Amino acid sequence: MRWTETFIPTHKEDPTEAEVISHKLMVRAGLMRKLTSGVYTYLPLGLRAIKKVEQIVREEMNRAGALELLMPILHPGELWQESGRWDLYGKELMKVTDRHQRNFALGPTHEEVITDLLRNHIRSYRRLPLTFYQIQTKFRDEIRPRFGVMRAREFVMKDAYSFHENEASLDKTYQRMYEAYARIFQRCGLSTAPVQADSGVIGGDVTHEFMVLADNGESEILSCECGYAATREGARSLIPPYSIEEKAKPLEKVNTPGAHTVEQVTEFLNVDAKRLIKTILYRCDDRVVAVLIRGDRDINEAKVRRSRECAKLEMATPEEILKVSGAPVGFTGPVGLKGVELISDKSLQGLVNVVVGANEDQAHLINTNFPRDFAIDSFESLHMAQAGDLCPACGKPLTSRRGIEVGQIFKLGTKYSTSMRATFLDQDGRELPFIMGCYGIGITRTVAAAIEQYHDEGGIIWPITIAPYQLLILPLNVDDEKTIATAEQLYETLSEAGLEILMDDRDERAGFKFKDADLIGIPLRLTVGEKSLEEGKVELKLRRDDQVLKIDQDKAVAHVVKLIHKERSAIENVSAKK
């Protein structure tokens, strides 16, 4: 492709709206433009990088035995009502109505549609297992889109769904996908870490996220030197033990005017937050559950949801709190709390003489002890993990890093097949729900993550496997006949050799073209200029280092082909061995 015949609107200045480097560079390098909040047009250069990632994903999905199809972006509302997610998915589900006022949703993910397909067409265990995938635009009405394509509302995603007759078959496919994912990200040149995660609204029990480590990533990863790694939400950390060597004192009520947060209460009473119990009321489907946790810790709602097996979990409203506890928000406590389940995080074990809300306006109880003053129905791990907690695998402290989630795989089980009555007949003629798995990769986010990982002050440094072009030919002075003739000839010969080439044939000054070359980050650059041509040479340079290699004109083709091969295999052979 000739620069003058394509569309690469580069910019010298950062766009004001961009915060993170990948967003800035994707705009500056002419990869994309914003249409509206969280929605982008991918320009030719950006689209080429996206297509490269897609192709790698496609190859690896096919290799793993998945079948490509393409599902609609517009989903009938009934399908989502059937699975229960019409109400449960949340506001991110973009709902629309057609001219007949029929309800539709823009697909944020496709479990419903694929399950509907399978239930209509697969009746026998003999056809299982089956895995389908698609690469398609998704829409999620994010509460706050940001960081460009990293948290967009409209984005390209690969999603795959597998169907099985039993757990063993699901395990096998899950493992296969896990390995495919590792290969995909390696082939994209990315270093990723698989971590244990929470399954959120998708559902299911076992799930891993693939993270690209990046300082400004949105997700916090807790990891241990033993190899354990999990997201903050998914971590099963242990809280360092804290016990108090004190005799139980008599229960006492104290006035705590105006103190309705942990901070205010601890300050008012001059006690450590660890000696306070927070009592949080949740509406869990149709019942109310009180969750107790030590004052210095936060609750992991995903754990509560799983523990109570409820579909919808929300904090109780102030009205509900008043009704249940008899006191306004800020004074709830476990003593005398009636009509609710009382579950506790394990962080309460070992506590003596603690502070709790009195279920009375402007009052707390001190020197509370259990089971003397109240009973706890069960002790479970319900806390949000944090750095410094202990590794569930080996007991050493966990450390915190940040990452960008580029892929996630789930064992769904029968969540959707049961609610949507998608069944097959096993060999004994029994009707059973499909056992499912699902597997996503954020394609556009992967491109952004690659830029986060590979850039310098000058711009992007594409890994060659996902670069929009492999080689940039840069004739310095397009008015010089010899220069342009040489460049044209190299362009032609190397194109015939199968290389993807961009030639900067613009009539611009050298410095200008060099700056743009660095900005758009094509991995190899072949500079053709009068000075070197006098010696019969052209100049070959890798974007990622500073060395300029002067090579004989007639050896240039062979050299370039060899170097590209070398660059590719540096990335791809690693994955081949794994």
Pick the closer one to RNA by CB: 167 or 535: 535
Q: Dihedral of CA 344/345/346/352: which sign?
A: negative
- Report the candidate in 398, 401, 400 with the shortest Cα–Cα distance to residue 238: 398
Strand order in the sheet with 103-106: 74-76, 103-106, 94-97
The DSSP code sequence of 487-501 is HHHHHHHHHHTT--E
User: Which residues fall within 8 angstroms of residue 508, CB to CB, at 6 or more apart?
Assistant: none
Least distance in Å: CB of 85 to RNA? 19
Pick the closer one to RNA by CB: 362 or 495: 362
Pick the closer one to RNA by CB: 147 or 491: 147
Least distance in Å: CB of 538 to RNA? 9
Pick the closer one to RNA by CB: 76 or 458: 458
- CA of residue 373 relative to chain centroid, distance: 44
Least distance in Å: CB of 103 to RNA? 19
Least distance in Å: CB of 26 to RNA? 13
Pick the closer one to RNA by CB: 515 or 544: 515
Cis check for the bond before 44: say yes or no (omega within 30 of 0).
no
Least distance in Å: CB of 329 to RNA? 4
Q: Dihedral of CA 571/573/576/578: which sign?
A: negative
C-alpha span between 545 and 277 (Å, rounded): 57
Please say whether the beta carbons of 446 and 408 come within 8 A: no
Pick the closer one to RNA by CB: 476 or 494: 476
Pick the closer one to RNA by CB: 29 or 449: 29
Please say whether the beta carbons of 420 and 414 come within 8 A: no
Do the bridges between strand 548-552 and strand 537-542 make them parallel or antiparallel, or are there none, so unpaired?
antiparallel
Least distance in Å: CB of 299 to RNA? 4
Alpha helices by DSSP H, listed for 373-457, are 415-419, 443-453
Least distance in Å: CB of 349 to RNA? 18
Least distance in Å: CB of 308 to RNA? 14
Least distance in Å: CB of 461 to RNA? 12
Amino acid occupying residue 260: H
C-alpha span between 562 and 572 (Å, rounded): 15
Contacts with RNA by CB under 7 A lie at: 10-13, 15-17, 19, 28, 34, 36-38, 143-147, 260-263, 265, 278-282, 293, 295, 298-299, 301, 314-316, 321, 329-332, 357, 384, 458, 476-477, 479, 509-512, 514-519, 527, 529-533, 539, 541, 548
Pick the closer one to RNA by CB: 180 or 348: 348
C-alpha span between 237 and 386 (Å, rounded): 8
Least distance in Å: CB of 483 to RNA? 8
Pick the closer one to RNA by CB: 11 or 555: 11
- Report the candidate in 36, 141, 142, 39 with the shortest Cα–Cα distance to residue 94: 141
Pick the closer one to RNA by CB: 207 or 486: 486
Spell out where 414-536 has E strands: 423-425, 431-433, 435-442, 455-456, 459-460, 471-475, 501-503, 524-528
The first and second tokens of residue 104, run together, are 């539709």
Pick the closer one to RNA by CB: 34 or 119: 34
Least distance in Å: CB of 315 to RNA? 4
Strand order in the sheet with 501-503: 501-503, 471-475, 524-528, 537-542, 548-552
